[in-house]
Chains A and B, each alone.
Chain A
């Protein structure tokens, strides 16, 4: 046969995905499994907000949005820290 490939049916390469990407996938799968587990163990109840888990924020962060806003605040903090760090390094 003229169109037949010289390669075997299955070949294995040596490349591996970066560890950061593996951890990201594990974190996403972990978060989804915890979310589902919460639904199974506590059906009908809302996902706990930050204030329900950390008593320090009990009176302040009583909405689920704060979990996301903390990520955004860390992001803006990293921006300031990066600018200061790079400027001082120069």
Chain B
């Protein structure tokens, strides 16, 4: 029964909340020591392969993630192109590579999803360590499992190209490896939280731990109790969505140099992210009754609350110090991502509700998926990379200009792709409906050149996103090898050594405008003061 399953979901969130706050009674030390042992020493020679320098785990996840984002972007572009020209890469059959359009699209979607998730997990590792006030519990383990997750993405990528038993074997292996990796990352996060020097657990940390932990607990609940398919469907997007919200709530205040605007809205974001069901990625489970569909619709609608609360919170935070916030490429990317996330969440709300009822607008699903993944998630992940990667590696990214350019490439490319592909889907759906309604129309004789043109424009627009990912990857490689070490930069603008003031009131803003810096000496000149004394 769906209602009971939703109660199980809430109980699992309460369980996470209690365990993180209180620890495991009696066995606390034992569990901590054993987890610590399994994270490094139990891995034997595997752990000796990597240095485990501070920040290396986060940097490794982001590097791998951006590589998979590039691969995913490339195959998504090819898939979009093959939608209007199925024989586009037919010449590759000479090297025995002749996939169908659906195969390329699935492989591209899975690779891009995995890559963007890796970017968010990498940023999350850095964020949790920073907010805890300590180093990550085990950077060695984080580096090691980043390679394992990359391997699982590779196996998944290969299985997408294979049919039959071997495809199933590879898919199963990829799923098992990725679950084990997520368990390891969750353990790393919990150990880091356990060693924290800052008492308060910040909203971003709750979102990171809950986003990784809740789907795992619900998987166990599914094995033991049996959970409704509709609920399992909704949990699929949770690690990525919660990770993105965590990154957004960290990056914008950090870049703007001001506190997060509202504590209540941050709390609402955390609570409602895990207490509602997201319609994003829902395709419609079989055998959903009308009552369940109604209940799901309410929970889908409620899932808008955390997204709107997070968006409002980060926009107000950015507004508090708009000058610094808008001049940061990371903050700009996150703000763009939040804006597009709200748009895609509203679209998915209608799609999700429709999936369990009339099934009338499902032709918009792939366009909406592109907007969510590349417009919302990728842009927030971009912000996370631009803000966290330099701190993790200790070197700034190669070019700030490239940061800003790739932000616009990906945001513009994803938005235009969404608009063109949505237009094409709506036109072709209208043609199909007309052909069904009027039996005298031969569907094969309808001129579909309009949709072909829109599909062409969609694929060309997406090329910008692909190139943006490749340029960002180059920026990261150059930055990690030869970027300027952090802390050795020249000051952004020279400040005055001494400013003379006359008696009276002034504001900090006026002083800053006059060229004052933190080391500027203020000298109040008063001719009559000595006489008065």
**Which has the most chain B C-beta neighbours within 10 Å: A61, A82, A87?**
A82
Known contacts: A71-B467, A76-B70, A78-B474. The answer to whether A63 contacts B85 by CB under 8 A is yes
Given contacts A59-B91, A86-B482, is CB(A68)–CB(B477) below 8 Å? Answer: no
B77 and A68 within 8 A (CB): yes
Whether the pair B470, A76 counts as a contact (CB closer than 8 A) is yes
When C-beta atoms are compared, the residue in chain A nearest to B460 turns out to be A68
Is B88's CB under 8 angstroms from A63's CB?
yes
Q: Is the CB of A62 within 8 A of B91?
A: yes
Q: Does B204 contact A (CB under 8 A)?
A: no
Q: A79-B473, A86-B482 are in contact. Are A72 and B466 (CB under 8 A)?
A: yes
Interface size for chain A: under 10, 10 to 19, 20 to 34, or 35 or more residues? 20 to 34
A63 touches B481 (CB 8 A): no
Residues of B within 8 A of A61 (CB): 91
Chain A 59-90 against B: per-residue CB contact (8 Å), 1 yes, 0 no?
Answer: 11111110011011001101100110011011
Flag whether B168 is at the interface (Cβ < 8 A): no
Contact between B470 and A65, CB atoms less than 8 A apart: no
Chain B residue nearest to A80 in the complex (CB): B477
Please determine whether A65 and B88 come into contact, CB atoms closer than 8 angstroms. yes
B89 CB within 8 Å of chain A: yes
Q: A residues within 8 A CB of B149?
A: none
Is B87 engaged at the interface, CB distance under 8 Å to the other chain?
Answer: yes
By secondary structure, the A interface counts as helix
Which residues of B444-466 have CB atoms within 8 Å of chain A's CB atoms? Answer: 460, 463, 466
Contact of A65 among B89, B466, B471 (CB under 8 A): B89
A63 with B474: in contact, given A72-B74, A75-B467, A86-B481 (CB under 8 Å)? no
Interface membership of B161, Cβ < 8 A? no
**Are the C-beta atoms of B463 and A82 separated by less than 8 Å?**
no
Q: Which residue of B lies closest to A63 (CB)?
A: B88
A60 surroundings in chain B (CB, below 8 A): 91, 94
Shortest C-beta distance, A74 to chain B (Å), equals 9
Would you call B478 an interface residue if the criterion is a C-beta within 8 Å of the partner chain's C-beta atoms? Answer: yes
Q: Which residue in chain A gives the minimum CB-CB distance to B71?
A: A76
A87 to B470, CA, bound (A): 19
B78 touches A65 (CB 8 A): yes
Q: Is B418 an interface residue (CB 8 A)?
A: no
User: A82 and B474: CB pair below 8 A?
Assistant: yes
Q: Closest chain B residue to A74 by CB distance? A: B470
Are B478 and A72 within 8 A (Cβ)?
no
In this complex, what residue of B is CB-closest to A24? B405
| B315 at interface, CB cutoff 8 A | no
CA distance A83 to B88 in the complex (A): 31
Q: Is B274 an interface residue (CB 8 A)?
A: no
Chain B residues with CB below 8 A from A71, complex form: 463, 467
Report whether B477 and A86 are in contact in the complex, using a CB–CB cutoff of 8 Å.
yes
Residues of A within 8 A of B81 (CB): 65, 68
Within 8 A of B (CB), among A2-28: none
CB-CB under 8 A from B482, the residues of chain A are 86, 89
Most chain B CB inside 10 Å of its own CB: which residue of A63, A68, A79, A87: A68
Interface centre among A69, A71, A87 (most CB of B within 10 A): A69
Of all chain B residues, the one with the shortest Cβ separation from A73 is: B74
Residues of B contacting A64 in the complex (Cβ-Cβ under 8 angstroms) = 85, 88
In the complex, the answer to whether B470 meets A75 with C-beta atoms within 8 Å is yes
Give chain B residues whose Cβ lies under 8 Å from the Cβ of A72: 74, 77, 466-467, 470
- Given A65-B78, A65-B85, A72-B74, verify A79-B474 contact (CB < 8 Å): yes
A53 to B308, CA, bound (A): 51
Per a CB cutoff under 8 Å, which of A68, A75, A79, A90 touches B481?
A90
- Bound together, the chains give a CA A69 to CA B478 distance in angstroms of 23
Contacts of B90 in A (CB 8 A): 63
Chain A 35-79 interface mask (CB, 8 Å, partner B; 1/0) = 000000000000000000000000111111100110110011011
Chain A residues whose C-beta falls within 8 Å of the C-beta of B78 in the assembled complex: 65, 69
Are A87 and B91 touching (Cβ within 8 A)? no
Q: How far is the CA of A49 from the CA of B478 in the complex (A)?
A: 34
Q: A68-B77, A72-B74, A86-B481 are in contact. Are A63 and B470 (CB under 8 A)?
A: no
Could you mark each residue 257-294 of chain B with 1 if its beta carbon is under 8 Å from any beta carbon of chain A, else 0?
A: 00000000000000000000000000000000000000
For the complex formed, measure the closest distance between the CB of A44 and the CB atoms of chain B, giving whole angstroms.
12
A78 to B70, CA, bound (A): 13
Asked if B89 and A63 sit within 8 Å, CB to CB, the answer is: yes
**Chain A residues, CB < 8 A from B467:** 71-72, 75
Per the bound structure, the CA–CA distance linking A74 and B90 in Å amounts to 21
In the complex, the chain B residue whose C-beta lies closest to that of A71 is: B467
Q: For residue A87, which residues in chain B have a CB less than 8 angstroms away from its CB?
A: 481
Task: For the complex of A and B, list the 5 residue pairs with the smallest distance between their C-beta atoms, beginning with the closest.
Answer: A86-B481, A75-B470, A63-B88, A65-B88, A60-B91
Question: Can you list 26 A-B pairs with a CB-CB distance of less than 8 A?
Answer: A60-B91, A60-B94, A63-B87, A64-B85, A65-B81, A68-B460, A71-B467, A72-B74, A72-B77, A72-B466, A72-B467, A75-B70, A75-B470, A76-B70, A79-B67, A79-B70, A79-B470, A79-B473, A79-B474, A82-B474, A83-B477, A86-B478, A86-B481, A86-B482, A89-B481, A89-B482
Instruction: Give the A-binding residues of B (Cβ under 8 A).
Output: 67, 70, 74, 77-78, 81, 85, 87-91, 94, 460, 463, 466-467, 470-471, 473-474, 477-478, 481-482
Known A68-B81, A83-B477; further 7 A-B contacts with Cβ < 8 A = A60-B94, A63-B89, A64-B88, A65-B81, A71-B467, A79-B470, A87-B481
